[in-house]
């Protein structure tokens, strides 16, 4: 008889090691975000993310004004080493005013290594889409609603006449609008910031 551990025990050790590395990466790259931001900090970050959105995407300000609500999740932190995860906090704005605070949590498994920060803006273009989002107790992208991610090249203009999706998303990295991303499976949950 050999001294080999069963395959499932080795896989368990590998998962634990990957989670330890992920936790270490989060702590190293984002020590401040380990604690929940205050509403004032979130609002400031939301303002900065929106201003960048308006500057980088032609027509974004008009597009945002036509939306029934904007969920702005600035500084979403993603890190991974085989097993990855992301987390961020933001605000839902209706008519330019913050009405609620939310977080986004997602996990992934596969060939990945590294860490990044990004801003996510999700526009609810219909009253029905916004109401469905607000009524949910933990909204999952792809299950509770499909988000059409917009990819606009440099110099292109956001055309509100051709975008007919009820939920539209934009993801910004350090170098501008990011392409080939998915929010599918990301869980967005309302936060109780009254405490």
pLDDT for 45 equals 95
Residue 148 included in any domain: yes
Residues whose CB is less than 8 angstroms from the CB of residue 116 and which lie 6 or more positions away in sequence, other chains included? 77, 78, 79, 173, 174
- What is the total count of domains within the chain? 1
- Give per-residue pLDDT as tens, 4-17: 555 555 555 555 55
Q: Which residues form the domain of 163?
A: 7-191
- Give per-residue pLDDT as tens, 115-169: 778 899 999 999 999 999 999 888 877 666 778 877 665 455 565 555 678 999 8
Residue 111 included in any domain: yes
The H or E element spanning position 179 is none
Residue 43 included in any domain: yes
Residue 156 included in any domain: yes
C-alpha to C-alpha distance for 86 and 53, rounded to whole angstroms:
21
Structure token pair of residue 163: 């975008």
The pTM of this model reads 0.73
Residue 86 included in any domain: yes
Residue 2 included in any domain: no
Residue 57 included in any domain: yes
* Cα torsion through 62, 67, 71, 77, rounded to 10: -50
Residues whose CB is less than 8 angstroms from the CB of residue 107 and which lie 6 or more positions away in sequence, other chains included? 83, 84, 85, 86, 185
Structure token pair of residue 67: 């939306």
β 139-140/167-173 pair status: unpaired
Residue 1 included in any domain: no
Name which of 30, 47, 195, 29 is nearest 119 in CA terms.
Answer: 47
Q: Which bin fits 57, alpha (ψ -120 to 50), beta or left (φ > 0)?
A: beta
């Amino acid at each position: 008889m050999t001294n080999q551990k069963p395959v499932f025990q080795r896989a368990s050790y590998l998962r634990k090691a990957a989670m330890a590395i992920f936790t270490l990466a989060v702590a190293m790259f984002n020590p401040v975000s380990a604690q929940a931001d205050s509403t004032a900090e979130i609002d400031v970050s939301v303002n900065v993310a929106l201003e960048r959105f308006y500057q980088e995407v032609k027509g974004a300000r008009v597009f945002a004004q036509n939306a029934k609500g904007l969920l702005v999740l600035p500084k979403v932190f993603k890190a991974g080493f085989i097993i990855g995860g992301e987390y961020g906090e933001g605000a839902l704005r209706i008519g330019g005013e913050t009405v609620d605070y939310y977080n986004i949590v997602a996990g992934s498994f596969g060939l990945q290594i590294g860490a990044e920060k990004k801003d996510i803006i999700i526009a609810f273009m219909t009253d029905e889409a916004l109401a469905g989002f607000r009524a949910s107790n933990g909204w999952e992208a792809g299950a509770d609603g499909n988000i059409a991610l917009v990819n606009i090249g440099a110099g292109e203009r956001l055309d509100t006449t051709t975008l007919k999706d009820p939920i539209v998303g934009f993801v910004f990295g350090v170098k501008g609008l990011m392409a080939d991303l998915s929010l599918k499976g990301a869980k967005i949950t309302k936060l109780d910031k009254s405490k």
